[in-house]
Amino acid sequence: MSRLSQVRALLRQHIVVNEPFSAPRAKQIAQLASDWFIEYKEWEKADRFLAAVRDKRMCISQRGTDTVIGAGNRSNPAHLGVKDQDKQGGTTQKILYKTLSYRTGVDSLKERLDPANFGSSPQGEEITRLKYKLGLHDLSASLMNPDKPTIKEQARWELDPIGSKSKWPLVFMPLPKQKDLVVFNLLNLLHKEWRTAGHLDLAETVARIRRRMTRVKFAQDSDMGAGLINANPAGSGDPNLAKFRYGMADVQGKEGTTLTVYIKGISLVRQAKALEYQSILATQTSSSNEIVVAFRQHDSPRFPMIGLWNGNGVDLEGGPTGIQGNFIPNNWASTVEL
């Protein structure tokens, strides 16, 4: 058993034991969580492209270089429109947040890798949550299927040079093992239950991990038809009270049409699937699946890998990619890792 497996099992054992809250227990779990995350980051440093694809942990996405929705979009400076969760499936107007944006391009993805871009701004500023202030919400991606031999089968957009997205870079980012996502979820739930005096060590530990760990938030074996919503309608219109979520729109395409229909509870299904995200490959029937990812710091300098499609594969941008010739062929299994 690896060191990571050992500390993960020990942390989980202490989280789920039927004992009431106490400050010493919260401090003990905080220390175990720190030990687990150190080992997790050591494992992350050693991750490789081919291993992640074959282990069904590699996600792929296509995005513009500097794509911005809402304020700050130079070509279309429309306000960021967000639907309230309790109004899903209706015909009500979206709430407009005039000073906010949702940044989805490669430039902003790189900013998501800096833990300093998450947390809170100094008191007195108009928007206190840095993620909201910088527009660094979660992003869509697809899970690569090792049973599909080519990259062209994995990308959600057309790669041939004919469409508006043909010049969008491709991004490859490995995901945590499902067991690590589950233990973080348990840790986070315990932290939320123990929001009381005496658990400061645990709160700080969870916050530190959250800013540094890439996580799958939602998963579905088809396109989600999702959008950005406010999960706290009581804070409608106030960026410091609203809780923005991407992937919880609770709609999906009606079979045989392009319309969307309200499906109550599908967000809970998507959240549950996120903790077993690899299962969506077994049930996928269409050409794509969709996962919603909180992209965060990766401890290997290889990732994320970013490059442009050249018709035969992906030319990766400079840096220590660990890939011979900085090139991933369309037949991804023939990639040569150094």
| Tens place of pLDDT per residue across the chain (338 aa) | 899 999 999 999 999 998 889 999 999 999 999 999 999 999 999 999 999 999 999 999 999 998 888 876 665 656 788 877 655 555 455 788 888 999 999 999 999 999 999 998 877 777 889 999 999 999 999 999 999 999 998 887 767 666 667 789 999 999 999 999 999 999 999 999 998 777 899 999 999 999 999 999 999 998 887 788 888 878 888 989 989 888 876 555 555 544 445 566 778 889 999 999 999 999 998 888 999 999 999 999 999 999 999 989 999 998 899 999 999 999 999 999 99
Under CATH, which number does the domain 1-46+177-213 receive? 1.20.58
Burial 68-86 (b: 16+ CB within 10 A, else e): bbbbebeeeeebbebbbbe
Q: State how far the Cα of 246 lies from the Cα of 232, in Å rounded to an integer.
A: 13
pTM of the shown model = 0.92
Are residues 234 and 262 in contact, defined by beta-carbon separation less than 8 angstroms? no
CA-based nearest residue to 291, from 215, 219, 214, 227: 219
Report which DSSP code applies to 332: G
Given a contact cutoff of 8 angstroms between Cβ atoms, the answer to whether 262 and 96 are in contact is: no
The pairing of beta strand 251-253 with beta strand 101-103: unpaired
CB 153, CB 39: distance < 8 Å: no
**C-alpha to C-alpha distance for 154 and 258, rounded to whole angstroms:** 22
21 within 8 A of 199, measured Cβ to Cβ:
yes
Tell me: cis bond preceding 329? Omega within 30 of 0 counts: no
* Residue ranges covered by each domain of the chain: 1-46+177-213, 58-146+153-161+214-297
